[in-house]
Amino acid sequence: MYDSQETYFADSAAEWTDNPENVLRREPKTGDDAVILAAARPREGQERLTLDFLAEVNYPNGARVHVGDQISNAGTDYREQYARLRAPQYANRVHGRAKEGSDGRVWLQYWLWYFYNDYTLALDIGLHEGDWEMVQLRMAEDLSAPDLAVYAQHTHAERRPWDAVGTVGGHPDTPLVFPGRGSHASYFEHGLHTTEVWYDVVDGRRPAPELQLELLDDLPWAEWPGRWGDTPSRVATIDQPSPMAPCEHRQWDDPAKLLKDAVEHDVASPADAPREVTVERDGDRMRLRWDLRRHPNGATAIVLNVNSEDEPHTAPRAYTYDVSTAPAGQLDTSIALDRAKHYDVYVSVSDGAGVPSAARAVPFDVVRNGGFDPASILRAVGRFVAWLRGGLQRQ
């Protein structure tokens, strides 16, 4: 159950190997140029990068696998790349396996792949290429049903007995997972979550389609030990680098180890999105207005998330505007709108501490009447009347 402003969703890991910008690289011990082992768009003499190229010991061309190998993205326009790439053959996947832990119990692990960790939706830290998240369920000793759930969250995890885990209506064996907006940390419920130095918010208003299960036991790439992205950690204990492969996480070999980091954390209701932030359609573009001079703790960013029900296979696009030095203003954005399509625009604000607000929906209907936008005409008339009144008052 995603947040209204989520931009990246749980998909097939093949998105990362197939993305046209990506290469499998190895940093050389000497020199400045990385060694390209394979590429999604190979040049002459290069191997093609696919999930099937990844291996545990040797690549198909005979090259030895190194733990330091990484799948790197040459670009930085991650939101646009993902919106272009996401298609039905990748969308809505979960990677699963069963594993016995050191506690002698059978655990069901579900690994979730996200194209990007976009925590800039709340605060400009923690951003990184690639994002592996996971939840796991401990089976009862008689294997009849789970008795415990553990959800991974950043450097920690949270645990709940199975009878306290929310499930899908009509499907009591299907647990609900609430991925944090942009960060994708897995939570048991919606709300504003305070963990370590992070603030995660998720409203759960965007349900996922049914996820297709891919069994990791059947996938040789699951034992590849490299890194899924090339983002380094910038700030110790706060930033996180691109993730290592699932098989490099300690709970891969022993699911019970994740219990050692299972903690409780506070859950609250996020603040409402300020009404002083408005968006409107101005013909083929979107106009943003704001006045956050009285916003508690100040405001650092406004986030717009643009969706269209007329584009069912297109990922939503997010746009972040830094308002830390401009607490009030107006902007004619570069966000293009098709006059023949409906849109839902979700608005939120992050305060000076990086705490995100809830998202408020602003629906945009199609533009009718032969291509004229009546709302724009009314706004123009209103501006003219205001100008005329101002002139009369000055006289």
For residue 389, the model assigns a pLDDT of 59
pLDDT at 370 over 50: no
- Give residue-wise pLDDT tens across range 213-230: 999 998 989 999 999 999
Q: Which 3 state secondary structure label does DSSP give 310?
A: coil
What's the pLDDT band for 381 if we cut at 50, 70, 90? low
For residue 392, the model assigns a pLDDT of 47
Structure tokens at 213: 């299960």
Q: Which of 377, 273, 361, 376 shows the shortest CA–CA distance to 309?
A: 361
pLDDT at 125 over 50: yes
For residue 395, the model assigns a pLDDT of 43
Residue 144 and residue 162: Cα distance in Å, rounded?
A: 12
Q: Which of 341, 44, 2, 26 shows the shortest CA–CA distance to 176?
A: 2
What's the pLDDT band for 373 if we cut at 50, 70, 90? low
What's the pLDDT band for 127 if we cut at 50, 70, 90? confident
For residue 141, the model assigns a pLDDT of 96
Domains recognised in the chain with CATH numbers = 14-267 (no CATH), 277-385 (2.60.40.10)
Residue 79 and residue 126: Cα distance in Å, rounded?
A: 16
pLDDT at 33 over 90: no
Structure tokens at 265: 């954390």
What's the pLDDT band for 384 if we cut at 50, 70, 90? low
From the CB of residue 15, how many other CB atoms can be counted at a distance below 10 Å? Answer: 24
- Give residue-wise pLDDT tens across range 297-329: 899 999 999 999 898 888 899 899 999 999 999
Instruction: Return the higher-pLDDT residue of 28 and 148.
Output: 148
β-strand 285-291 against 277-282: which pairing, if any?
antiparallel
Residues 270 and 122 sit within 8 Å (Cβ to Cβ)? no
For residue 106, the model assigns a pLDDT of 98
**DSSP assignments along 217-256, one per residue:** GG-GGGG--SBSS-PPPSSTTT---SPBPGGGSHHHH-GG
For residue 55, the model assigns a pLDDT of 96
Residues 312 and 259 sit within 8 Å (Cβ to Cβ)? no
Instruction: Return the higher-pLDDT residue of 218 and 90.
Output: 90
- Which residue is associated with the tokens 């009314």? 378
Mean pLDDT for the stretch of residues 36-45: 96
pTM of the model: 0.88
Q: Report the sign of the C-alpha dihedral through residues 216, 222, 227, 230, in that order.
A: negative
Q: Which of 49, 52, 60, 43 shows the shortest CA–CA distance to 25?
A: 49
